[in-house]
Amino acid sequence: MSTIPATRPPMLATAEALAILLAAARRVEGVETIDTLDALGRVLAADVVSPLDVPPMHTSSMDGYAVRAADLAGASEGQPVALSVSQRVPAGHVAAPLAAGTAARVFTGATVPPGADAVVMQEMANATEDGRVAFAQPPVAGEWITPQGADIRRGSVILPAGTRLTPQALGLAASVGCAALDVVKKTRVAVFFTGDELTMPGEPLREGAIYNSNRFTLRALLAKLGCEVTDLGIVPDRLDATRDTLRRAAREHDLILTCGGVSVGEEDHVKPAVEAEGRISMWQIAMKPGKPLAFGAVRRGDEGEAFFIGLPGNPVSSFCTFLLFVRPFILRLAGVEEVAPRVFSMRADFTQKKGDRRNEFLRARVNDAGGLDIFENQSSAVLTSTVWGDGLIDNPPNHAIVAGEIVRFIPFSELMR
């Protein structure tokens, strides 16, 4: 008697799959206060509100002389106006009110004395024999003065909650006096790898084995996202071992990330193990490379669930699915709202005569003419293409590419920021 195989659900489009992931993501619990100097890459848990104006006073944007513009109203090349210098104001020093009919020697960043309404740069002034300074043209009121609050106004939000802190963001926080920042606790990720064929670099490569490159790639990507990573190593290709590892991983982690074992082969145990220990909410994406991507959750006993994402084992597939799905999901767990990479419209300098029925992500790089070339071998096993390339071409299903047409290009720099 023959057995009729169960009908598989249709593969999800990439946009639909990403929407499911992001809709499920919730910011991890917990906030900590850390030194601003140590906050690079962390995500703000609260708005940073400026307690002061920046700059906190009117400052000179040039080395020169602070004056009252009215005192030089009649100055000309033929009849310059000379003023005595009543004070010298370096940056960081207090300025006295400017006496009428005098000038103040000021330097870049120095406070403009009260009463002065313009700065004449030093190249436009000349010392006289009697120790005064002559001006041959009248300045415009406000010239070379940076007004108080020109950059930041007191009470304004300079960095909203959910901002992932870059070097320049740390500088901005410091500019308003923030010595410490409230940030979301790090996302705790447990990662493990399946496959009896996997061997670690440094060990003899036995017959039929391969080195575990995915372990290095994925751990580096997780570190780049600022995760707290627990590496559970290589798990034997057995259902019981996989289930046991999932239970251990769920206890103290927000996300369990696996690599390999999510396809439909007899030795692919991750999917049935997750179904036994929790649930699979999504499986198989209509994309190339990376079709067998799984999403779900693993039970933590009576304490809720840990999210689960299972990546395919082929190195390019795991790399691409991490960038396109895991990265935005982890950023959303960390509280980041804007997780989409910027996509650029660029010229294809190649022809691909036949499209695939799935959404293809082609490894490409920018050439000297400003167009895109693709790596000659787009196999999901060719990790070389990810080092050679500058990013991915997002090619829709069943679309052949003709040289000269405009395609969607996502740089790796966008997918890793």
Q: Say if residue 138 is preceded by a cis peptide, omega within 30 of 0.
A: no
pLDDT level of residue 1 (50, 70, 90 thresholds): very low
Q: What is the pTM of this model?
A: 0.88
For 195, the token pair is 């496959």
Does the pLDDT value for residue 264 go beyond 80?
Answer: no
Orientation of helix 239-251 relative to helix 270-277, angle to 10°: 50
- With cut-offs at 50, 70 and 90, classify the pLDDT of residue 9: low
53-67, 263-277, 372-386, 396-410, range with the lowest pLDDT = 263-277
Pick the CATH number of 59-146 from 3.40.710.10, 3.20.20.70, 3.30.70.1400, 2.170.190.11: 2.170.190.11
Query: pLDDT digit string (tens) for 220-232?
Result: 999 999 999 999 9
State the pLDDT at residue 184: 97
Q: For the chain, what are the domain ranges? A: 14-29+186-333, 31-50+155-184, 59-146, 344-415
Q: C-alpha angle with apex 394: 389 to 397, nearest 5 degrees?
A: 135
Minimum mean pLDDT range among 119-128, 199-208, 314-323: 199-208
pLDDT tens string 59-86: 999 999 999 999 999 999 999 999 999 9
- Does residue 269 surpass a pLDDT of 90? no
Tokens (6 digits) for 9: 């659900």
- Mean pLDDT, rounded, for 305-310: 96
Report the Cα–Cα distance between both ends of the chain, in Å, rounded: 56
Task: Please provide residue 126's backbone torsions phi and psi, each rounded to the nearest 5 degrees.
Answer: -135, 135
> Is pLDDT of 8 > 90?
no
The third-level CATH classification (topology) of the domain covering 344-415 is Beta-clip (2.40.340)
**Dihedral-angle region of residue 378 (phi above 0 means left; psi in -120 to 50 means alpha; beta otherwise):** alpha
14-29+186-333 falls under which CATH superfamily? MoaB/Mog-like domain (3.40.980.10)
pLDDT recorded at residue 208: 87
pLDDT of 337-387, one tens digit each? 899 999 999 999 999 999 999 999 999 999 999 999 999 999 999 999 999
Check pLDDT > 50 for residue 110. yes
Q: What beta strand segments (E) does 42-173 contain?
A: 48-49, 59-60, 64-67, 81-89, 102-106, 118-121, 125-127, 133-135, 145-146, 157-159
The CATH classification number of 31-50+155-184 equals: 3.90.105.10
The average confidence (pLDDT) of the chain is: 93
- The band of 198, judged by pLDDT with boundaries at 50, 70 and 90, is confident
